[in-house]
Chains A and B, each alone.
Chain A
Amino acid sequence: MQLILILAGITLIVVLGETVLWTLFRRQAAPLCFEAEADMCSPRRLNMRALGLFALGHGGTLLVISWVYLILLW
């Protein structure tokens, strides 16, 4: 039970952290994207879709590492 609560807490921290950072970044980056639609800029500019996938992958990896780490060592 304790482990489940800890895992839920870690998941919340990671998801919230990634979401807040991504939202703030997206808000700040939109005018720098140099395109009317900020979703898909050319690769040499800010490729928001690729960056979004990177953030998603980063969060996912952190979650998997945290879960495996805690389940194995708890």
Chain B
Amino acid sequence: MQSRYSFIRSRLLPGIVIAALAIGAGIWAARLLLDQAVPPDPLAATRFPAARAVQPFSLVDHTGKTFDNAALTGHWSFVFFGYTHCPDVCPTTMAVLNSVSQRLQDTGERVRFVMVTVDPERDTPEKLGKFVTYFNGDFLGVTGSTEALEQLTGQMGIMFMRVNEAENPAGYLVDHTASVFLFDPDGRYHAVFSPPLTADNIASDFRMMARTY
């Protein structure tokens, strides 16, 4: 008489293995189908129901040209507020934006990428220029007096705050907004991308927004 264990070995076990394989194959197939069928993720960006007008401001870019409301028109602008002494968030964001710019090359849209400094004391136009063009030769660095910067940041609800840490060997740090702001070709504040920022999300959100603009 066949023992229970040998029955398990001879009949049940192969059955279980086949069933498991079948289930696995089913899950795999379902995933494949779902991947194709599921619509793209909803926007990671926050898009305003109606784009907001930007009140007058006037700053200067790293090439010495005025950067004001007019400089935001005729193209989309991704704007990040950072500073060159910032070792983690800012270079990370700038690298992500460079990756976004590569991904958007086939869209036919005119897109500009700008870093506005939150540390005008140390970030001269020259330093800013070297910093931003390290990431992408077309990137623009923008600065101005603290008052002039606040004309722009104040109306957008953007905060930056100098943190004095005496023991910090690099000098002071600046706490600042980590989001990336999108202005539409009419120079209006259109959407904001909040961290975590990925080039994939930003690029796909932008495509969707540009299509329906």
**Real complex partners, A and B?**
no
Interface residues of A (CB under 8 A from B): none
